[in-house]
Structure 1
Amino acid sequence: LALSLRAWAELYHLFLHHESEKIMLTLVNFNLINLTKSIHIKADYYSKRKKVSSFKKK
């Protein structure tokens, strides 16, 4: 999801010149996949941290 401004500008130009729905759909799917991945990674990370902190308390 961390696309640079320049990358976004280039994509925006693509939309303006081609108005390709395929590009749009690909981008949306790509972003959704990345978003769900990062959410899973974060959830996994936090659950591991919670386990570690609960071990430390005992």
Structure 2
Amino acid sequence: MIGELVHAYVGSGGSVVLVSHDRGIVRELADQALVLDKGQLVAIGAPDEVEYLEAR
């Protein structure tokens, strides 16, 4: 449901800031992801790139 709403909104020219701990949702919906650890930015990029960086 949320995915459909986000896709529809973005498709009409809108932007969305999504906060989630669910990596599947982030991979499905995000063009770009930021990862924070204790409030510090540790990674930024495409969701698959960020996940790769986190795993290292």
Name the TM-score, length of structure 2 as normaliser: 0.31
Task: Find the structure with the greater CA-based Rg.
Answer: 1
* Higher relative contact order (CA closer than 8 Å, sequence separation 6+): 1
Question: What TM-score, normalized by structure 1, do the two folds share?
Answer: 0.30
